[in-house]
Amino acid sequence: MALVNENYLKLPGSYLFSEIARRVNKFKKDNPDADIIRLGIGDVTRPLPPAVVEAMKKAVEEMGRQETFRGYGPEQGYEFLIEKIIENDFRPRGVELAIDEVFVSDGAKNDTANFQELFGIGNILAVSDPVYPVYVDSNVMAGRTGPVNAKGQFEKIVYLPCTEENGMKPPLPRTRVDMIYLCFPNNPTGMTLSKEELKKWVDYARENRSVILFDAAYEAYIQEEGVPHSIFEVEGAREVAVEFRSFSKTAGFTGTRCAYTIVPREVMVYDSTGKAHSLNSLWLRRQTTKFNGVSYPVQAGAAAVFSEEGKKQVKEMINYYMENARIIREGLEKAGYKVFGGVNAPYIWLKTPGNMGSWDFFDKLMKDANVVGTPGAGFGANGEGYFRLTAFGTRENTERAVERIRTRM
């Protein structure tokens, strides 16, 4: 008799975004004429940069000709892309990486979800709260947690509260943790850590032989000088950190699919005899066994992000979204809201007025302003009383949404 992985049964039945969809659909049915503006899901809306489109078309044509056709590529990605990643995203920041430390994949969601496979089931993980749900759910599925409690928190996970009091910066854990998920610029709060703040985490991990799983999917949105784009800008991080990057938010690849993960050769995990094993070799084994590489035309498109025109076009796109972020942030502040993020990230994290519950605020915002966002409670217990808006809408919709929040709420 085939038995189920009972860890899956620990997951709550409904997901955040399906509950949002359910409420929006009901509202639309009851109010068919409502002009709804969506600033909820973190999906981009600007088209692919022309340099990417051209490179992908050229690559598709190559696939159609006998002499330039490509079959299976290397599971870890083509060197033509990896070299450009190192040269453009890391070397200018003083970070040197070897070709075999970069693993190209079809999504940072996949990589952040799959990477935990390399770790023993007995590891204790720490996540910030609020948090991107994939870190938690993938570990629940693997059996690294106990059951969920009434607050929506899983036993054995160490939650690091990010609150108004600590400026949305997770405190160091007070009990032992082995795997630490950090995401900066943060989803959902939009906040960043300075190099000094990040160094505390690297030092903690080195002292405790923990591994930091650093999600930098939003690094392209950093506007301020001095904010680290990569954890590897911090001394010692190569010994204890893995970094996840994506072309999704950087270059509009949410529907095109390309990302990459940096696994330095020095990062180690230990077996029960205390012997060290390289995460880099383990991830290579995992990827060669369970993955077959990213589509060649997609990798060709990703490489074009680093061409002169590509870089210019991507910069324009980021500026467009960050102007939206400014409009939301300043508009909400003027309207009397307390807001976080939106300076170095495409997310604005607002405190609901009068301690309103975040789902109540969701309903009110939809009803009164016809604007859809994401209730903070969906990201964890400490997200209650907060609400996420994204800068990924069109300029016109962003301006109209802010105007409506200002005048109708």
Interaction residues for its own copies, span 17-56 (CB under 8 A): 41, 43-50, 52-53, 56
Closest CA to 212 of 237, 193, 188: 237
Interface with its own copies by CB under 8 A: which range of 4-12, 28-36, 151-159, 181-189? 4-12
Under rule CB under 8 A, residue 396 binds its own copies: no
Contact 70, 296 (CB under 8 A): yes
Under rule CB under 8 A, residue 238 binds its own copies: no
Closest CA to 183 of 168, 200, 204, 205: 168
Minimum separation from the CB atom of position 133 to its own copies (A): 8
Contact 239, 209 (CB under 8 A): no
Minimum separation from the CB atom of position 279 to its own copies (A): 8
- Out of 76, 128, 138, 382, point to the residue binding its own copies (CB under 8 A): 138
Under rule CB under 8 A, residue 172 binds its own copies: no
Minimum separation from the CB atom of position 38 to its own copies (A): 11
Minimum separation from the CB atom of position 92 to its own copies (A): 28
Give Cα 269 distance to the centre of its chain.
24
- Out of 84, 109, 169, 238, point to the residue binding its own copies (CB under 8 A): 109
Which of left, alpha, beta for 283 (phi over 0: left; psi -120 to 50: alpha)?
alpha
270 SS3 class: strand
Burial 221-246 (b: 16+ CB within 10 A, else e): bbeeeebbbbbbbbeebbebbbbbbb
Closest CA to 205 of 282, 123, 91, 133: 123
Could you say which residues in the range 60-89 bind its own copies, by CB under 8 A? Answer: 60-61, 63-66, 69-73
Under rule CB under 8 A, residue 298 binds its own copies: yes
In whole angstroms, how large is the CA radius of gyration of the chain?
A: 21
Residue with smaller CB distance to its own copies, 123 or 153:
123
Could you say which residues in the range 173-202 bind its own copies, by CB under 8 A? Answer: 178-179
Minimum separation from the CB atom of position 128 to its own copies (A): 18
Interface with its own copies by CB under 8 A: which range of 117-125, 165-173, 193-201, 332-340? 117-125
Minimum separation from the CB atom of position 298 to its own copies (A): 5
Beta strands in 151-257 (DSSP E): 158-161, 179-183, 211-215, 241-246
Minimum separation from the CB atom of position 383 to its own copies (A): 19
Interface with its own copies by CB under 8 A: which range of 25-33, 255-263, 315-323, 367-375? 255-263
Give the angle 142-144-148 at the CA atoms, nearest 5°: 100
Residues 353-392, one symbol each (x = binds its own copies by CB under 8 A, - = not), give ----------------------------------------
**CA gap 126, 50 in Å, rounded:** 41
